[in-house]
Amino acid sequence: MSVAQIVTILGSIPLFSMRTFLPAFLAAIFLTYPEYFPGMGDIAPASEGAFITRDWVLIVLGILSILEIIGDKSADIRNLVKNAEIYLKPLIFLVINLSLLDEASVEVLEEMQWAAFDLKWILLGFGILMVHWLATLRRNFITFLEDIDEDDNFYIGRISSWMEDSLVLFGFFLLIWAGIVMLVVYGLAIAVFIFMQKRYDRKLEQQKIQCPSCGKKNLPFAVECYHCKTTQPNIHKIGIFGQRKRALVEDVRQHQLKLLSHRKCPSCGSKLESTEIHQQCNTCGNNIFQSPEVKDFLKYQDQKFYKIGGLSFFVGFIPVVGFVISAVMANVYLFSPYRRYLPKGTSFLTKIWIKFLTFIFFILGVALGFIAAPLYIVMRYIIWKRKFVGQTKNENLPNIG
Ligand SMILES: [Zn+2]
Ligand SMILES: [Zn+2]
């Protein structure tokens, strides 16, 4: 086995942990047309009829890569495939590396000794495990990003997705032209990522507060201990990213409504896994929307709606920026709290309609933001509120029957 082959296998690990088809497509393109890559012209083209350089393989991989890039920009699609991906990625990693080894090193393989053969399989086995492990880390990170910005109001999901696309592309070219540099750079980046994640987990653990009655560790937002239900003496406020604020809660009722708007349990503060409105908290068994009730929540949302609607009129006098600020505020404070309780991906047409509305209003909002912004907020608020109320009735029906 040559050093170049070892570097190739190791270097493709971070690429395949980010994307499934894009690195495979890039590798296939490279093997089929090495002459188009500067400095690579003297590489012998892959043997005639090699699996990876066949036209249909190239086309299929190309289409899949484009679908992957587009699909990853949608929070719904990303969510849908993220659990299958952690198994698919190691598999594609193996298939591509096997064909890379075969095509690029026909001569080496012919003279291959058993010792070299062993090393190849050890390396590939290690690679498969690493891709699976890194892909799982990535999936957990995506879940974490979704918790912060579930509806992609701040474009966190989309920005991170574009960053990944460019990291795969950049990493691939770096691997071709400076393989060792690529290994060092990406290896360090992964190490930093893992370190940061460990530190974040530790910070979350440290933020938990011990219950004075039973000693169990509670989330800083918990109103009552999840274990013994004792009211907690120090309840921390929650920020718009779901983070802990230093300030302590004064109005518990208001705090509970705020937790509900983040789809967190109003008693123990845990994230609710299901989107159902009437459900039981998995952590403490509290019945959600029993206290505070749905009508309290609607009233709480309506109050925010009047405030932000009024504010958007004044902010709308600032050209362009005014409309954008109003739209983001409305998404975060008014629409998302309802949307979090609605099943995802059910209303594709509604989504397109809303995108269209947003676009029209944005055009209008460039000059007449003080009219467009409040109008946009009123229309969309009514739509989401009506959907939410409809959902509460939907859920109640089976109980009656
Ligand atoms: Zn307790
Ligand atoms: Zn709970």
Profile the chain (401 residues) by mean pLDDT over runs of 10 residues.
80 92 90 76 56 83 92 81 89 86 54 59 90 92 81 82 93 88 92 92 92 93 93 92 89 94 93 89 92 93 95 88 88 90 70 77 78 88 91 69 37
Question: Domain coordinates of the chain in residue numbers?
Answer: 3-204, 208-292, 301-395
Nearest CA to 289 out of 337, 331, 243 is that of: 337
Nearest-ligand number for the alpha carbon of 222: 2
d(CA 339, CA 243): 20
CA of residue 282 to ligand 1 center, whole Å: 16
DSSP states of 309-328: HHHHHHHTTSTTHHHHHHHH
Q: Taking CA 227 as the corner, what is the angle to CA 224 and CA 229, rounded to the nearest 5 degrees?
A: 35
pLDDT at 362: 78
- Cα(235) to ligand 1 centroid in Å equals 14
- Output the pLDDT for position 400: 43
Determine the 3-state secondary structure of 267 from DSSP. coil
- The number of the ligand nearest the C-alpha atom of 215 reads 1
Distance (angstroms) between ligand 2 centre and the Cα of 224 equals: 9
How close is the Cα of 221 to the center of ligand 1, in Å?
14
Q: How far is CA 281 from CA 266, 292, 295, 368, in A?
A: 9, 14, 20, 45
Question: Closest ligand to 216 CA?
Answer: 1
What tokens appear for 317 in the block?
Answer: 């006098």
Q: How many A from CA of 347 to the centre of ligand 2? A: 29
Question: How many angstroms separate the alpha carbon of residue 38 from the centre of ligand 1?
Answer: 66
Element (H, E) at 248: strand 244-248
Give me ligand 1 centre to Cα 231, in Å: 8
Amino acid occupying residue 54: R
Ligand 1 center from residue 333 Cα (angstroms): 32
Residue 77, pLDDT score:
81
